[in-house]
A and B are shown apart, each in its own frame.
Chain A
Amino acid sequence: MTSTTTPPATGPEAPAPGRPGARLVRAALRHPAVVPVGAVVLALLIGAVIILAAGLDPVTAYAAVISGALEPGSLDYTFSVWGFIIGMALAAAIPLRMGEFNLGGNGQLVLGGLTAAVIAGNLPLPGPIVIPLAVLGAAVVSGAFGAISAPLATRFGIPIIISTLLLSPIAVAVVSYLVRFPLGEAGAAVAQTPRLPQDARMWALGDLSYSNVGLLIILALLVVFWLVDSRSAVGFELRVVGANRRFGAYGGVRVGRLALGAMAAAGAAAGVVGAVMVMSSPFRLIDGALISPGYTFAGLAAALLAGGRPALIPVTAILFTVLQVGGAAMERSADVPRQLSDVLQGVVIVVLALRTVLDQRRTERSSA
């Protein structure tokens, strides 16, 4: 406790106590953007410490990240990664809007990839039919897989965060088996499906070699989510349940059905990403190739950083795209292993998850 010797103030016009600067800082600290931005800054600082500890220069390393991701030659690739991360961010953000965590992105992603590979590789149909069919099929299969978690939660009380996490490796293992044996290309050294016929490859965008129409499909999904979130009854219900589940239930929101829809949509988004990846170069499903770049994790981090808000996802996705793409460049030119970008994503996720837990505690306390 502090006490002062200032003369008593007598009216409302008396000078305000407390230095205005300090109060401004305190008010600024309560701004909702502080935690997310702080998480990113903290992550970058921790990264810098790690780089320093390895005896390297963080400034050159970070410079390499940025130039590696944004140099004109690699923009084509960077944009395609941005699209994949946005897609996986959607898979996390849709359930996040109602306060649920989808940690099963990997399983949903590979199932979508597998479905697209099977449809596109086996149906001898013209492109304009087979490509949408493959994307749709992937969305349906992955959506159905994602939706399993909703009844598990409403009927059996298994939290969505747990069931998605546990179901995902099963799907990954099954797909891996299928790619290795029944569906694999005979005689290949690697476990992979045969190359897709020319007609069944995703339409190119001009002469770009990485970004294709798949990127536009994913961006269209983002726009749809934004519209649904801000303008539709279902989006309103998602936000209400996310803000206070009991309020939603009391107000007549069918929370179980909503969870089913959200998880199906989340799975479908991941499935579309899987389909687009398989139908892009090298036009086949290679065992492990869909998950190893870590788009699921990066997408989850981008969604958390955006608080699930669709309008912010493209922005936060840029950050993780730069880390992801630039990480490789950093490894090449500054000798810093690219796993560093995983560490940075991890720190961001931990800080934001901590905030969620603290927020929950606070709301729990204010119950009457």
Chain B
Amino acid sequence: MSSERILVRGSALPVALVGAILARRWSGKGKELVLAPEREGANASTVIARPDHKNVHAELGLAIESLAQGAEAVPVLAVATTCGTGQVSLPFSPYGMARGGTDFHHFWRRAIASGEQPDLAEFSLALRLDRAGGRLPLSTLAQLPLEFGLRMDRLRYIEVLSKRATSLGAFIADDAGTDADLIVDCRVGSNRSGWIEDRLLIADENDIPGLEWQICVNAARRFLGLAAKLSDSETERREYSRLARAESARIRDFRALLRDPEPRETEHASLSRKIDLFEACGRIPSEDFEVFGQPEWLAALLARGIWPKRYDRLADSIPDKQLRSWLSSMQRQIGEITDRSLRA
């Protein structure tokens, strides 16, 4: 084999997504990229791209407007998923507004400590808009301090990505065999990730909306960040696997928090640290290579009944009266934006 050949195979969406990202870089003389997608199931419906979509699609030269047309993309401000106590909405943007470097939820917790009962979700523009079901035009959204993902039609998104991958030099083959220097295996339901000899395994986990998309993006980027001569990559392989393991551990923790019957009894130090510290003082410690954002962790912790016993001392730096008027004006403003969006 004179050129270096990468074969990406497995479920159609991961293959198209990983394929498109790799094709941007793995192209030209001496490089071959072959995509061998399996047929997507008949019940395939939508896919969620997390807020990182802005960077990914910009790199791929896919404008959000063209995704709106080509893949029926609509913005998503939060995703709903199951947790041990029912359903939880995980917002992509922070609750309320930080003040003097102190996260908003500490001020909210202080209001509760002084006898008020505000619902934290009332201070999340993302959750309010999401619940109200209003549609904000992309142009308005871009002006608000909101992170958003995209919900897209799965089959059409696959089509868009596959087209992009081929225009960048990848080949799509029904029966590509196994003749390759590197086989990238995207497997639904598998929980093994890593780069072992000539196999790059991407666990295609799909049980939290947006996760499948993010795992594929991270894997493709991680590989490109390390890609070298494929036959001589021992150091790179080890590093890839180490980073993939760290990512899996972060996902494992988040999933356990959401769904384990007793998340407090977890055997994983990184998760018990999050639970203990949050319960003690309302801080959510972050580990290296987090996949989920702080607002998502906060929503999940609260949904599992884990409450901070106290708030950050810095939240005491404004007087009671000022705190109350700040909270009510924030609530009012959020309400106004939400109403406007419903009329849009």
Whether A associates with B in a native complex is no
